[in-house]
Structure 1
Amino acid sequence: MRKPRDFDAELKALEDKARELKTRKVQQLGELVIATGADQLGSDELAGALVAITETKDTAKREAWAKRGVMFFESRSRRVAQASQRNRRSTPAQSGGTPSAPSGTGAQ
């Protein structure tokens, strides 16, 4: 005999997952606003700019914005990589001891 499905539990699990995904999305959007410096704008200005962007149908403008976004993320990842390399190089000199393994290694 088959075990009956608990639809209420499955629905609750899906709702929890959806809530978690929405929370993560909101957090990532907030981080993006801060990373780009857009948190310096007023909320009205930022909302107006986003509305204008979403209403834009000009594909050339949208492609230009996309390229600029790619360049932003690439330059940002290069800066993060360079900073981590500087930190790794300076760690033994600061500690005065033997170099230790980077703490960023291991399973994620």
Structure 2
Amino acid sequence: MRKPRDFDAELKALEDKARELKNRKVQQLGELVIATGADQLSTDELAGALVAIAETKDTGKREAWAKRGATFFESRPRRTAPTPTRDRRSPSGQSGGTQSPSGGTGSQ
């Protein structure tokens, strides 16, 4: 006879995984703000700049920002941070440490 599935335990595990991924995303976004020097801006300035970037539909500007962001990351020496022992087979949605929506970093 087959063992019944514990749906409650599976749901809790999925919720814990989602919470962990959200926390990692928030941490990585904070690291991105610091790495770019944007932590020197006031909260209002940073929020305003991010809102303007998010609202921009001009693909030319977005491509220029993406190129500038890629150049920023390529020019910085990579630090190897100690990685906790986790199950690396699980998909994370985040790769390479930091990822910005539509490559939108910097301003022009």
Q: Which TM-score applies when normalising by structure 1?
A: 0.71
More helix per residue: 1
Q: Which has the larger radius of gyration?
A: 1
1:42 aligned residue:
42
Question: 1:42, 1:11 → 2: CA distance?
Answer: 40
Aligned to 2:5: 5
Q: How does 1:58-97 map to 2 (within 5 A)?
A: 58-77=58-77, 80=78
In structure 1, the gaps of 5 or more residues are: 82-103
Q: Greater RCO between the two (CA within 8 Å, min separation 6)?
A: 2
In structure 2, how many angstroms separate the alpha carbons of the residues matched to 1:61 and 1:10?
44
Aligned counterparts of 2:44 and 2:4: Cα–Cα separation in 1: 52
* Alignment partners' CA distance in 2, 1:12 and 1:45: 39
How far off is 1:12 after superposition?
Answer: 0.2
Aligned twin of 1:22? 22
Q: Give the RMSD, CA atoms, in angstroms.
A: 1.5
- Which residue identity does 1:33 align to in structure 2? V
Structure 2, unpaired ranges of 5+: 83-108
Cα distance in 1 for partners of 2:61, 2:13 equals: 41
What one-letter code is carried by the residue in structure 1 that aligns with 2:22? Answer: K
Q: Deviations over 1:44-89 (max 9, x none)?
A: 1101100000100000000000000000000003xx58xxxxxxxx
Distance 2:46 2:19 in 1: 25
Secondary structure of 2:60 counterpart: helix
- Name the count of aligned residue pairs: 80
2:72 partner amino acid: F
Q: Which amino acid aligns with 1:32?
A: L
Quote the sequence identity (%): 86
Following the alignment from structure 1 to structure 2, what is the Cα–Cα distance between the partners of residues 47 and 53? 10
